[in-house]
Amino acid sequence: MKKVLITGGAGFLGKRLAQAIDWADDILLADITEAENPHNGSRTTIADVSKPEDIARIVTPDITDVFHFGAVVSSGAEADFDLGMHVNLDGTRALLEACRALPYPPTVTFASSCAIFGSRGGELPSNAASRPESSYGIQKACGELLVNDYARKGFIRGVSCRLPTVVVRPGKPNLAASSFASSIIREPIHGHRATCPVNGDTKLWIGSVKSVIANFLKAHELAQAESLPTYRAFNSPGITLTIHEMVDALERAGGDPSLIDWDFDPSIDAIVSSWPAALDVSPELKIGFTQDTNFSEVIKDYVQIYG
């Protein structure tokens, strides 16, 4: 029996991951908010990973696979230091402890972020050391270290998958500093105004929902492999684009760029500028991770589903 727990299961990626899993007997979406329209068959529960009683309720002895998405995202963790530490660090540790207590080591796949690298300009080597420059990046880097050590000790079979900024995110923006990267495409496509808080020549490391979900599942598959690198973290391949290049692709897809208001926000710019704009992902591509080839295709996919 494959029994899956997805924390942050009411969120953007958690829900899409549940849709993509076709091998589970049971999927539980656990989140502090109720998941709207969960995938057929998924169960939902309100649970806060920073509360021990909630963790005890959702990490039942029959759980085989845990996908840990529940988090206070970038701008949220920067704005509320205590909440970020409590959920992203203490909550991750508590979840891992509960997994350690299970009769068999479950497979744990942790949603890390390219924010763990910090900004250093140019293309970073795939094994670049973590030097985060934001509270969120530091909490994700600590989460990776914990997952790695719990896996090394045999308490879990675990990996971290470092995600690029995922574009185009449907629906409402969240508290991620990168949320605008989706808004500047999504809103004009629907004929609405959007605000861009960074300069047009800012470079972003981005991935589509499709590639990120495929790569997260690839990381999960690798977590179960007999031999893994000593440090169990993979970079989900992204592509590098400037905001101007993204806006050009929007125009080619029929969106009106004049609906974008350019309103520089130093606090968002500081967080986004602390992330790398490019990573060497050749090791991941060799072992079966996927990479988007073309941003216009990414927009086309969005329009087909949500346009």
Ligand X SMILES: NC(=O)c1ccc[n+]([C@@H]2O[C@H](COP(=O)([O-])OP(=O)(O)OC[C@H]3O[C@@H](n4cnc5c(N)ncnc54)[C@H](O)[C@@H]3O)[C@@H](O)[C@H]2O)c1
| Residues recognised as catalytic | 136
* Contact window for ligand X (CB under 6 A) among 2-10, 125-133, 187-195, 238-246: 2-10
Biggest CA pair distance of the chain? 58
* Helix runs in the chain, H state only: 12-20, 52-58, 74-79, 81-84, 92-100, 135-152, 179-189, 209-223, 243-252, 266-272, 282-286, 295-306
Does 70 bind ligand X (CB under 6 A)? Our answer is: yes
Torsion of CA 220, 226, 232, 236, to 10 degrees: -40
Pick from 18, 27, 66, 72: which binds ligand X (CB under 6 A)? 72
Ranked by CB distance to ligand X, the top (closest) residue is 11
CB 8, min distance to ligand X, A: 3
Does 10 bind ligand X (CB under 6 A)? Our answer is: yes
Cβ proximity to ligand X, 1 vs 91, nearer residue = 91
Instruction: Compose the 19-58 pattern: x for residues touching ligand X by CB under 6 A, - for all others.
Output: ------------xxx--------------xxx--------
Which residue in 5, 7, 8 sits closest to 26, CA to CA? 5
> 159 to 178, contacts with ligand X by CB under 6 A?
163, 165-166, 174, 176, 178
Pick from 5, 6, 13, 279: which binds ligand X (CB under 6 A)? 13
DSSP assigned state of 114: G
Instruction: Compose the 177-206 pattern: x for residues touching ligand X by CB under 6 A, - for all others.
Output: -x----------------------------
* Residues near 98 by beta carbon (within 8 Å), at least 6 away in sequence: 55, 56, 59
For residue 62, what are its two tokens?
Answer: 């029959």
* Contact window for ligand X (CB under 6 A) among 71-79, 224-232, 256-264, 296-304: 71-79
Asked if 197 and 146 count as a contact pair (C-beta separation under 8 A), the reply is: no
> 104 to 143, contacts with ligand X by CB under 6 A?
111, 113
